[in-house]
Amino acid sequence: MNLVNRLVVAAMPLVPRPVVRRIAHRYVAGETLEEALETVRALNDEGCMATLDVLGEDVEQREETGRTVDEYVRALDGIASRHLDSNVSVKLTALGLKIDREHCRREFDRIAEAARRHRNFVRIDMEDSSVTEATIRLFEEARRDSENVGLVLQAYLRRSRDDAARAAALRANVRVCKGIYVEPDEIAFQDREEIRDSYSSLVDVLLGAGCYVGIATHDPVLVERALATVSLLELPPEAYEFQMLLGVAGELRRRLVSAGHRLRVYVPYGEAWEAYSMRRLKENPAIAGHVVKGLFHRELRPRARPLPGNSN
């Protein structure tokens, strides 16, 4: 970890709440569904699709999962009633994966059912390596019941090559990302070029197998490589999409959209925004570099309202 990042992480508890809010404001749509839907509307107006993420993960009590599921169902209802172009992304630990696997499956099914009712789609985010296998298994089960569910594979995991073969066998809808959690060398590539090579090879294998792929990256090298594969395979724009995080790489996003590529923006929202931002920082201190930049520079993004209490 770079020294500056280390210092920023150590200093985070001392950073005044309004400053944390200002930083989070760039990456989080707000605390309420209303704010999130307004952000989606603005993105749709720019030609981008969206995926809504209700913030929160790693619940400790079974009772805590119901509220999250209800919020996802409300989000899917809200997307449909406003005719917005957005699906949802969900973390299984927020539905109790670590507490009670069957309970988690039932809670996930409630979201998948709401998505089905609205002819929409739910993607299962990928979390740290302690739940990789359990997440893929639950996905495989759910995918057998319905096509409107998708998975995420992380390029830094050495196992993802095999997992891509499993996903390809199901012609699954897969988001490929680098991976955000800090993982040990035994299970994850650490070298930037190795991660890039793994990323491109996953995208190539999945696209080649006829899977719909969400190419989730802000790395221009990976975007170029994916575009080369798309061109080589002569794929139509409906066969894949690019995905980016809210508040990141706006210029690259605009370039891809104006070149006619589908692009989806990940829109997190919810009351847990502060805990989420702090946890992300502790899990991957490399993000601290972005925090420093966030203090001095704010990229313009479509936003309707600031987070409550934020005067910016």
Ligand X SMILES: Cc1cc2nc3c(=O)[nH]c(=O)nc-3n(C[C@H](O)[C@H](O)[C@H](O)COP(=O)(O)OP(=O)(O)OC[C@H]3O[C@@H](n4cnc5c(N)ncnc54)[C@H](O)[C@@H]3O)c2cc1C
Judged by the rule CB under 6 A, the positions of this chain that interact with ligand X are 125-126, 152, 154, 177-181, 216-219, 243-245, 248-249, 266, 287, 290
C-alpha dihedral sign at 175, 137, 140, 78: negative
Cβ of residue 94: shortest distance to ligand X, in angstroms? 12
175 is known as an active-site residue: yes
Nearer to ligand X, 188 or 307 (CB): 188
Report the alpha-carbon distance of residue 52 to residue 40 in Å, rounded. Answer: 8
Nearer to ligand X, 81 or 190 (CB): 190
Active-site residue, from 175, 262, 301, 303: 175
The token pair that represents 139 in the structure block: 């996905």
Cβ of residue 63: shortest distance to ligand X, in angstroms? 25
Nearer to ligand X, 116 or 225 (CB): 225
Nearer to ligand X, 62 or 278 (CB): 278
Residues contacting residue 133 through CB under 8 Å, at least 6 positions apart: none
Amino acid in position 167: A
Report the alpha-carbon distance of residue 162 to residue 151 in Å, rounded. Answer: 14
Cβ of residue 154: shortest distance to ligand X, in angstroms? 5
The number of angstroms, rounded, from the C-alpha of 306 to the middle of its chain's C-alpha atoms is 21
- 113-148: buried (b, 16+ CB within 10 Å) or exposed (e) per residue? ebbbeeebbbbbbbbbbebbebbbebbbebbeeeeb
Cβ of residue 157: shortest distance to ligand X, in angstroms? 9
Cβ of residue 180: shortest distance to ligand X, in angstroms? 4
> Do the strands 263-269 and 149-154 form a parallel or antiparallel pair, or are they unpaired?
unpaired
**DSSP percent split of the chain into helix, strand, coil, nearest 5:** 55, 15, 30
Amino acid in position 186: E
Active-site residue, from 53, 109, 125, 163: 125
CA distances in angstroms from 30 to 8, 54, 57, 258, listed in the order given: 24, 10, 17, 27
Nearer to ligand X, 193 or 234 (CB): 193
125 is known as an active-site residue: yes
Please name the helix (run of DSSP H) or strand (run of DSSP E) that holds residue 103, with its range, or none.
helix 101-117
Nearer to ligand X, 43 or 245 (CB): 245
Cβ of residue 217: shortest distance to ligand X, in angstroms? 3
- Output DSSP code: residue 12: G
For the chain, give me the number of helices (H) and strands (E)? 12, 8
Known catalytic residues are 125, 175
